[in-house]
Chains A and B, each alone.
Chain A
Amino acid sequence: MLNQVKWDMNLNELSIREALKGLKEKEFSCEELVQACLARIKAVDNKIKAFITVCDKEALAEAEKADELIKSDPQIFEKKPLLGIPMAIKDNFCTKGIKTTASSKVLENYLPVYDATVVKKLKEAGAIILGKTNMDAWAHGSSTETSDFFTTRNPWDLSRLPGGSSGGSAAAVAADMTIFAIGSETAGSIRQPAAWCGVTGFKPTYGRVSRYGVIAMCSSTDSPGPITKTVEDAALILKNLAGKDKHDATSVDRKVPDFKLKDFNIKNLKIGVPQQYFLKDMDKEVIDQIKQQIQFFEKLGAKIISVNLVNPKYSVAVYTVIQRSEVSSNLARYDGIRYGQQRTSFGTEAKRRIMLGTYTLSAGYYDQYYLKAQKARTLIIKDFEQVFKKVDILVSATAPTPALELGAWEKSPMFGELMDILVEASSLAGLPGISLPCGFTKNGLPIGMQIIGPQFSEELLLKTGDFYQEVTNWYKRKPSLSS
């Protein structure tokens, strides 16, 4: 397949693994790879609008350098394991010299003077920045509709939303405009758009990946992570991202495992199915598909155990209060004095959250809101701890519905929290989670399945997910976008 005439190859459709193989074996050049992605962006992004900034000149310059290195140094891939791989980065990651907006008018012309640690690590590994992707402004949302600039569309159905807040990143991967992307999750912002866009999204344990340089949303849950075409790709990225960072006091000093995937036996796996995660209002197709996957796991030899978790509806209130409290403080630095626009440039959703968060921290209300929410959070953490004594992982749907139509956000001020109801609890507890494509609705919309594990169980999640992708094909299906 890879031996076809260069011009017929859709290099942009490759996974990281395939692209690396091709580059190493000199089937194509890095420049061709980057060109393919840029061409795809040019062809379809006017419809999808995943990108805020495209760095075509810079990317091609980097590609040229990469090609030089590949020519001159046969060991180069050992030093730079991601050399030449184009990536899209969510616009809340600071990229030195490249406009970083968090999709907000407040930062519409902001040029960071430093790279986020995640960006720095990926650049050091040789990856190439294609551009910055659209998101819900300040990551406040689950649809990418609250972006101050424009709404990204779901490549599977342009009248629908890609999910959020990493909607641009997920759409870019789904539409093969990039080989992989970086997103961030506070509560669902990697997993949910990955589910809606039919791609793989991995949220690491809180503290596994440095937050330095990520525009803060909810400091106590924010987790940067990869959005990729395969689980294998996610493992590769995670290996390059994880690790203690001296610039982030909450990053954990813990050995980063090799994330070797193949050494896995499904028969040793105890899968917990939380009954409370089959909600009444959930889409029936989603429920059915998830139940099928669970049966599938059972057929393959896993042990399925029905478990009880605190009803996820409680985590909505807990998360809402804690997150908005931290948001109200984290957005205080945008005073327009040293950089950025004035605070009047904040969008509606940002203003709502600042006001609510200020209220929940204010004198006389702190105890009944913020403090109480943190206490309830401890109960949620303990709830997961007791469940993981019985099972190795939990499986459920990622989102209660497949991708919704544009305008959904406006229908409910708690839209984001309701969309994220199945992922908030695990985010509050700092747990890792992965969302994988596990099927499609009758209308051809992707359905996502999530696997949650105890803290620092990334390796198990990746192994399970990779195994699943070896015996299923959902992840291979692509949206039919006319170029």
Chain B
Amino acid sequence: MTKDRQNDKGRKMTKDKMEYLPIIGIEVHVELKTKSKMFCGCSANHFGVAPNTHTCPVCLGLAGALPVPNKKAIDWCILIGLALNCEINNESKFDRKNYFYPDLPKGYQISQYDQPFCQKGRLVIARSEATKQSLKIATTRNDGSRNDIKTIGITRVHMEEDTGKLVHDKTEASLIDFNRSGVPLVEIVTEPDINSVEEAITYLKKIQQIVRYLDVSDCDMEKGSMRCEVNISLAACGKRLNRPNREKCFLNLPKYKVEVKNINSFKFVKKAIEYEIRRQTEILEAGKIPVQETRGFSEKTGRTFSQRTKEAAHDYRYFPEPDIPPFTNLKSKILDLKSQLPELPDRKMERFIKEYSLSEDNALRITTTLAMANYFEAAVNKNKSLAKQIANLIINQKVDVNKVKPEEIAKMINQQKSNIISDQNYLIKIIDVILKNNSNATADYKKGKQEAVGFLIGQVMRETKGKADAQIVRKILIEKLNY
């Protein structure tokens, strides 16, 4: 047992503990809300639909059926890639990912392997959301010039099809519903750049916001139109984190990776990551290495549990899909698709701060959804001076955006304004009367009691039934009182 050391101030220090930095990568699957499925004309809508009613030979994997790619889905995948600053490959193709599972009717999933539509992108998240700890340690992966942002690398954005859904009934039989089989999925994969729970949640919320801005998916975790898998391991960072040993973290990159699946909400993502960090820390502190495996998450217990061993590279025997000719000249689509990109949340927020003089917080909140941002701008229209007020009204829900048309808002405000009495001559007359009748208040003010002004303003407001312009009244009163 080592003796507790003392620092130079004579304070007892606990034995130096190894600090670990979470190394997290996230895979998000986004279910596109195209009308039809990825490779056939069946309706892609499967939520709340009677089982096996949106199927055909193709998505059922019947003998002789062939896939025909959904052009719109591909355009939307590239759109997502562009929104995430990805490079769009000029040539791309589909590949077969071969494995057996009852919800995979063809015995292979049509996906993309080595030539995805999009790769090498990045997503920036704001510093206030990224923790100090990971910023200090992980700055080698940041855009080094600014320390108020963190950049998450996007490895790739690619297209694939969804599987059917397994339903376990009371008799312990497994039933398969193929309504979901063949629905288009876009997979977004990050580099292992995420270093904390907070960053992970921020990243997920950002992706959701962007995808919803693009209006290509409902991106709803509860409904399954947004799914995520978290790859997490811990890197040994040396002792005493407040003197970060940056190089050590990256020299000691973990030799294992745990994949956590089946997490259905942001809340559970937080719980799952926190649990995994604790679990893996315990194992590492005991001198062992966590098993490389896939784990599920239990909502009941808040813990992860082992599902199967994840080999370093599962043998899916990928090969190019022979039933779908490869794509060439994709770069020619970029201009057209770029023009379809809406102004994305970050840009919009910056513009709102500049153009409408909104506070950073208000700009952030008013751009939460594209609908709200558009409503705001429609409401402001040419009345830029009212922008702040309008923003406040909307954010504080003082106006029902579902009932009130945006054009009405400016009118409402101006209406209120026009009721305000700002005619100085008129006000002076009233103020003179008030002053005459409230000599005590005047005397109080002269003695130094500032509250007297408030009292006097109140009297004026009462007299004008609240319609006087309070700013002007205050100005006049003070002038007269000081006179």
> A214 to B64, Cβ gap below 8 A?
yes
Binds B, one of A69-77, A215-223, A310-318, A396-404: A215-223
A228 at the interface (CB under 8 A from B): no
> A333 to B105, Cβ gap below 8 A?
yes
> A211 to B63, Cβ gap below 8 A?
no
B176 at the interface (CB under 8 A from A): yes
Contacts of B98 in A (CB 8 A): 328-329, 332, 361
B296 at the interface (CB under 8 A from A): no
B317 at the interface (CB under 8 A from A): yes
B388 → chain A, closest Cβ, in Å? 54
A300 at the interface (CB under 8 A from B): no
Q: Which chain A residue shows the least CB distance to B68?
A: A249
Interface centre among B60, B61, B67, B313 (most CB of A within 10 A): B61
A249 → chain B, closest Cβ, in Å? 5
Interface residues of B in 319-354 (CB under 8 A from A): 319, 322-325
Contacts of A328 in B (CB 8 A): 98, 317
Interface size for B (C-beta < 8 A) is 30
> A333 to B106, Cβ gap below 8 A?
yes
Choice from A213, A326, A338 contacting B64 with Cβ under 8 Å: A213
Interface residues of B in 24-67 (CB under 8 A from A): 57-58, 60-67
> B64 to A219, Cβ gap below 8 A?
no
B107 at the interface (CB under 8 A from A): yes
B411 → chain A, closest Cβ, in Å? 52
Given A219-B323, A326-B322, A358-B317, also A337-B63 (CB < 8 A): no
How would you classify the secondary structure of chain A's contact residues: helix, strand, loop or mixed? loop
A258 at the interface (CB under 8 A from B): no
> B319 to A110, Cβ gap below 8 A?
no
Contacts of A337 in B (CB 8 A): 102, 176
B309 → chain A, closest Cβ, in Å? 16
> A100 to B66, Cβ gap below 8 A?
no
Choice from B69, B96, B315 contacting A329 with Cβ under 8 Å: B96
B305 at the interface (CB under 8 A from A): no
Contacts of A358 in B (CB 8 A): 317
Interface residues of B in 55-97 (CB under 8 A from A): 57-58, 60-69, 96
A278 to B63, CA, bound (A): 39
> B66 to A212, Cβ gap below 8 A?
yes
> B57 to A114, Cβ gap below 8 A?
yes
> A249 to B323, Cβ gap below 8 A?
yes
Binds B, one of A40-48, A122-130, A362-370: A362-370
B316 → chain A, closest Cβ, in Å? 9
A5 at the interface (CB under 8 A from B): no
Q: Provide the A324-336 mask, 1 if CB < 8 A to any CB of B, else 0.
A: 0110110111110
> B315 to A362, Cβ gap below 8 A?
yes
> A338 to B68, Cβ gap below 8 A?
no
Contacts of B324 in A (CB 8 A): 249-250
B108 at the interface (CB under 8 A from A): yes
Listed A/B pairs (12) with beta-carbon separation below 8 Å: A212-B65, A248-B66, A249-B67, A249-B68, A249-B323, A329-B107, A331-B107, A337-B102, A338-B60, A340-B63, A361-B318, A366-B319
Known: A214-B64, A362-B317. 9 other contacts (CB 8 A): A92-B64, A94-B62, A220-B322, A249-B66, A250-B322, A329-B98, A334-B107, A340-B63, A363-B317
What residues make up the interface of A, taking CB atoms closer than 8 Å to B?
Answer: 92-94, 100, 102, 107, 110, 112-114, 116, 211-216, 219-220, 246-250, 325-326, 328-329, 331-335, 337-340, 358, 361-363, 366, 370
Shortest beta-carbon contacts, A-B, top 5: A332-B107, A219-B322, A361-B317, A220-B322, A213-B64
